[in-house]
Amino acid sequence: MTKDTLSDMEGEVESITPENLKEQIDSGSKVFLLDTRSEENFDEWHIDGDNVEIVNYPYFQLLEGVPLDLLAELPHEQKITVLCAKGGSSEMVAELLGEEGYDVNHLERGMNGWARIYEYTELDVNVDATIAQYQRPSSGCLAYLIASGDEATVIDPLRAFTDEYEQDVRALGVELRYALDTHIHADHISGVHNLSEQTDATIVLPEPAANRGVIYDQPYEIVSDGDTISVGDVKLEVIHTPGHTTGMTAYKVGNVLFTGDGLFTESVARPDLEDPEAAKNAAGTLYESLTEKILTQPDDVIVAPAHFSDSATPNDDGTYTAELGELKETMNALSMDKDEFVEFIVSDLPPRPANHEEIIATNLGQQSPDDEEAFELELGPNNCAASEGALTN
């Protein structure tokens, strides 16, 4: 069967939205996926989960029909969801499998649609503010909305979801005063510029990040270690925590510490994205930031990171956060001495985020991709942690 024959096949195939597929995965239902993207794209990033069984079989190998070796891997007693990059090829493959008698559907908009999922969950914390965590399952990116009094700020916003932030701010009846980044990101396109243009929010950037040569069309406010930012009835404390980058900065409100890419709930930052040649020195700086700025915080401080991993389990409230005291007890890297820490961190660095050089240049304001180009640039995993495996014991 040729590609043209596949394209001309009649009949509609049942589809499933990315949101509904995620609901199935989150509910614990068994899910069987046939990913028809190339092996390279599949290896770089794919849908995962404890209850997910997935087979990768590239579309171009299915143009002549379904090979016997693939048929042997497909279940007859369970629905199969076929997916591809954008939803076109998967629909044709699903039609073919349907003719073979399989119970099948295909993922609408493919992995591009999966990357559009963005979820809002409020943290249950004792702070005089509404604090929400935004979760992007496709990449593990986390952003935050803090609303207090009649003002709000967004921390580490993603450009692709500018409209969601605006809608939520309106729903809370507040005005977006600030849009701030913890550092110059290498895994996604920052949304601070778009938010500033569309809401008049002031961009906030840590001083060392600004020193990397940012070229912004909008004015921005620079903050330094020890500064505070007023948002309604609360103040955000600025805590410079270099290591992941020279500009990496945490923000603290009440007992919630937004650690950016400095400390995650399962791992610590990788030190090589800004300057690969200085990775060891940066790892030493990261150790000092963790031991002097982060681990000296009270044990009941809530660590709210900028990423979560595929293997992370959400809390009962649906958020990816952890008490600092718990991380001290469970994360091996946090109990190492400096030399051991540095060697451990640089010895197991995962691949760099896809298109990281273009993403950094965009976030510095040196490149100006349109919305679709920006979205394509950041597809894939974030890979901002120091290790592909969790560092917890």
Candidates 288, 272, 301; CA nearest to 383 is 272
CATH number of the domain where residue 298 is located = 3.60.15.10
388 pLDDT higher than 80: no
What confidence tier does 66 reach under pLDDT thresholds 50, 70, 90? confident
Number of structural domains the chain divides into: 2
Residue 389 falls inside a structural domain: no
pLDDT greater at residue 117 or residue 10: 117
HEC profile of the chain: CCHHHHHHCCCCCCEECHHHHHHHHHHCCCEEEEECCCHHHHHHCCCCCCCEEEEECCHHHHCCCCCHHHHCCCCCCCCEEEECCCCHHHHHHHHHHHHCCCCEEEECCHHHHHCCCCEEEECCCCCCCEEEEEEECCCCEEEEEEEECCEEEEECCEHHHHHHHHHHHHHCCCEEEEEECCCCCCCCCECHHHHHHHHCCEEEEEHHHHCCCCCCCCCEEEECCCCEEEECCEEEEEEECCCCCCCCEEEEECCEEEEECCECCCCEECCCCCCHHHHHHHHHHHHHHHHHHHCCCCCCCEEEECECCCCCCCCCCCCCCEEHHHHHHHEHHHHCCHHHHHHHHHHCCCCCCCCHHHHHHHHCCCCCCCHHHHHHHCCCCCCCECCCCCCEC
Could you give the angle at which helices 279-289 and 338-347 cross, rounded to 10 degrees? 130
Q: 161-190 pLDDT, tens per residue?
A: 999 999 999 999 999 999 999 999 999 999
Residue 385 falls inside a structural domain: no
**Mean per-residue pLDDT, 60-82:** 90
Catalytic residues, by residue number, are 84
Q: Which of 114, 129, 157 is the last residue of a domain?
A: 114
Is the domain of 200 the same as that of 78? Answer: no
What is the average pLDDT value for the chain, to the nearest integer?
92
Is the domain of 333 the same as that of 350? Answer: yes
Is the domain of 87 the same as that of 177? Answer: no
Is the domain of 278 the same as that of 302? Answer: yes
Instruction: Considering only the C-alpha atoms of the chain, give the largest distance between any 2 of them, rounded to a whole number of Å.
Output: 67
pLDDT at 11: 52
pLDDT at 351: 82
Residue 356 falls inside a structural domain: yes
Is the domain of 165 the same as that of 25? Answer: no
289 pLDDT higher than 80: yes
CA gap 386, 327 in Å, rounded: 16
Q: 219-265 pLDDT, tens per residue?
A: 899 999 999 999 999 999 999 999 999 999 999 999 999 999 999 99
156 pLDDT higher than 90: yes
Residue 211 falls inside a structural domain: yes
**Mean per-residue pLDDT, 47-51:** 91
What confidence tier does 350 reach under pLDDT thresholds 50, 70, 90? confident
Is the domain of 244 the same as that of 310? Answer: yes
Residue 185 falls inside a structural domain: yes
pLDDT at 232: 97
Is the domain of 172 the same as that of 284? Answer: yes
Residue 391 falls inside a structural domain: no
Domain that holds residue 364: 119-377
57 pLDDT higher than 90: yes
Q: Which amino acid is at 369?
A: P
Is the domain of 354 the same as that of 322? Answer: yes
CATH number of the domain where residue 84 is located = 3.40.250.10
Q: What are phi and psi of 119, to 5 degrees?
A: -120, 140
Percent of the chain residues topping a pLDDT of 90: 80
Which of left, alpha, beta for 372 (phi over 0: left; psi -120 to 50: alpha)? alpha
Residue 236 falls inside a structural domain: yes
Tokens 């690969």 correspond to what residue?
276
160 pLDDT higher than 50: yes
Is the domain of 229 the same as that of 361? Answer: yes
4 pLDDT higher than 70: no
Is the domain of 143 the same as that of 56? Answer: no
pLDDT at 133: 98
pLDDT at 349: 87
8 pLDDT higher than 60: no
Is the domain of 233 the same as that of 322? Answer: yes
2 pLDDT higher than 60: no
64 pLDDT higher than 70: yes
Is the domain of 82 the same as that of 221? Answer: no
pLDDT at 368: 94
**Mean per-residue pLDDT, 293-310:** 95
Residue 160 falls inside a structural domain: yes
CA gap 127, 95 in Å, rounded: 52
**Mean per-residue pLDDT, 18-35:** 96
